[in-house]
Amino acid sequence: MAQASVDILLGSVLAAMDNFGSLPLFPLFDWAHFTLMVIDLRNDAGSGANALSKNHPLVCWFCAMLSCFAGAIFVNFLLGQPLLYFFNNHVRVGLATVVWYLVFYCPGDLYYKTMTTLPAKVGLVPLKEVIRARKVAKGVVQAADMYPEGYLIMIIIGTIQGTGSMLMRNVERLLRGVFDKAGNELMKPSFVLKACVLNSCLMVLQREGLLGIPFSHLLLYITIAMATIKISMLLFHLPDPFSYVEATIRPLLFGKPISAAAEEEKKEKAKAE
């Protein structure tokens, strides 16, 4: 009897894992994704967020849409597909617009204050990572359809799908009339960018049959790992897990990094000479 119960439980778990890749993303997961993206936009605008929303609502809305659909925009640009294709899904654009309005214009700023509390962040992060894993997978598949043997292209497109909003940040800043070269995601890659590169590699290996697990299981493992690490970093202020590996390997391959102050001092000496 006990063995039969265990078998039933295991069967249910495996069935849930098999169905994970086809889990509907709308509306719950999309709502979490849009909420975090628009909050990031507002936080990036800083003290200018109020002026942006009151004086330039159209620019504010357009920047929010760029954040929410950044991955698709970048990928479509690189693969020669329509840049504004995301506007074709008016339901998702409508949901993103409602979220944008709540973040910037909710009475008493209640929505923003609620969604930026620690418990809300802990709840939103796993939902966001479900979206991210699916985006990376979609990017790999998109690239593979056009370049069946372009493994590097698959990794690049998968990474961009998963980190589009970060890469779009400088474009948004230009639209808002500001620019910060120090905020370039490629110059200072975050944990998410590095993780998406790794996840894209894993998905390419799985696609080529080099990993002995089903795709839906890999998707679930990646989602759990990303959510666990992101929540741990949020709660315990842990450093980037990749930093330990980088600290060991980077000096051996590329030499020790030069600080900005040392670089400026070097330039001043060169001018003096």
116-128 residue pLDDT tens: 999 999 999 999 9
pLDDT in tens, 48-106: 999 999 999 999 999 999 999 999 999 999 999 998 888 899 999 999 999 999 999 99
Nearest partner of 166 among 83, 234, 66, judged by Cα = 66
Instruction: Give the DSSP H/E element, type plus range, for residue 219.
Output: helix 215-236
Grade residue 6 by pLDDT with cuts at 50, 70 and 90: very low
What is the per-residue pLDDT for 265?
A: 59
The model's pTM is: 0.90
The tokens for 220 are 């679930």
The tokens for 28 are 């719950």
Q: Which carries the bigger pLDDT value, residue 218 or residue 264?
A: 218
What is the per-residue pLDDT for 89?
A: 92
> What is the Cα–Cα distance from 88 to 185, expressed in whole angstroms?
28
| Whether residue 193 has pLDDT greater than 90 | yes
Between 202-206, 213-217, 235-239, 260-264, the lowest mean confidence (pLDDT) is in: 260-264
The SS3 of residue 144 is: helix
Token look-up 């894992």 returns 17
What is the per-residue pLDDT for 53?
A: 95
Please check whether residue 166 is in contact with residue 189, taking contact to mean a CB–CB distance below 8 angstroms: no
| Whether residue 1 has pLDDT greater than 90 | no
Q: What angle do CA 131, 111, 58 make, to 5 degrees?
A: 80
Q: Please, which residues have CB within 8 angstroms of residue 160's CB and are 6 or more apart in sequence? A: 71, 74, 75, 78, 139, 167
Please check whether residue 128 is in contact with residue 150, taking contact to mean a CB–CB distance below 8 angstroms: no
What is the per-residue pLDDT for 267?
A: 58
Nearest partner of 69 among 91, 93, 99, judged by Cα = 93
What is the per-residue pLDDT for 269?
A: 59
- Using CA atoms, how far residue 71 sits from 77, 131, 157, 206, in Å, is 10, 11, 9, 22
The SS3 of residue 23 is: coil
- DSSP string for 169-207: HHHHHHHTT---GGG-TTTS--HHHHHHHHHHHHHHHHH
Q: Which carries the bigger pLDDT value, residue 18 or residue 108?
A: 108
> What is the Cα–Cα distance from 186 to 170, expressed in whole angstroms?
11
